[in-house]
Structure 1
């Protein structure tokens, strides 16, 4: 059958497709805009592959940035998440890499990322329960230095807000 080909394509293009993407190109140049209001995108579906156990994890990324003269399309932010996440990576690294990429490639004055994910290695482990969620967070630029900005972001991603 075609199972081997399907598995190869799944791993190559979906689970590890981020290696075919350049994070800077995924984000694009954006467009000039002098606004400095925080932009928050909640609930971006995300997955990666744990390099320790070689099993996938999946969840949602919540991303924010304070523009530093450029705005970026919401779809471009999601593509950036894919470019960074669809690789062998730890959730902790992915979270930090997304925030730092918005500063480096997006010229953001500040950036934040929170990822909540189900780790298959936890589900399959000896002490499994199956309902654990791992939450990681990273703050860069102005978010690092402003507890008020961090708290504003964390309130904005609170699921009770809607």
Structure 2
């Protein structure tokens, strides 16, 4: 988990952040740079709205996955088979162009005496999604957070997403999907477990 914190060394230090006014002034500069007038009626409140929306869209910087995953349950009646939460929707933003990434995550683990509340898995996806991201890094971060906190026999994460930096700009290929996977423990060393995860995700 230390690796995750080191990746975002200032995410819990509000004194390192610009003020609300500085953020709004930056939006006004961008509006002028785009060729519009930030003082016209339709844009007069836009800087405040953008700053407010960014606070929500990037709220993952104020949250730590280990806090969400801290509570686990040991009364599982001996259950030790796969726990899979699939089709978890998320919205993120590409760290290269700051445009949306829209997708869904599939997360599974093999318990080792303890289980997580199912909603916590979705919350972890949300925490890492609400940061500037690459899909590859987000896939790894979700897997590592669960692996470090729960210490299961293995974790499997698959993320499928459409990147607006490909759909809206550049090559403008709408509908193309990027798929990334990360496997730890038994999912990495036992091909049968990995295949079973893929089969359950695909509903075969």
TM-score for the superposition, normalised by structure 2:
0.74
Match of 1:94 in 2: 138
The answer on whether the counterparts of 1:43 and 1:60 sit within 8 Å (CA) in structure 2 is yes
1:2 equivalent among 21, 45, 48: 45
Q: Larger Rg: 1 or 2?
A: 2
Larger RCO of the pair (alpha carbons < 8 Å, separation 6+)? 1
Q: Give aligned pairs, total.
A: 159
Match of 1:21 in 2: 63
The answer on whether the counterparts of 1:69 and 1:107 sit within 8 Å (CA) in structure 2 is no
Instruction: Please report how far the alpha carbon of residue 5 of structure 1 lies from its aligned counterpart in structure 2 after TM superposition.
Output: 2.2
TM-score for the superposition, normalised by structure 1:
0.92
2:190 equivalent among 125, 132, 146: 146
**Distance in 2 between the 1:20 and 1:64 partners?**
25
| Regions of 4+ moved over 2 Å | 1-6
The answer on whether the counterparts of 1:28 and 1:76 sit within 8 Å (CA) in structure 2 is no
RMSD of the TM alignment (CA)? 1.4
Match of 1:31 in 2: 73
Instruction: In structure 1, list runs of 5 or more residues that go unmatched.
Output: none
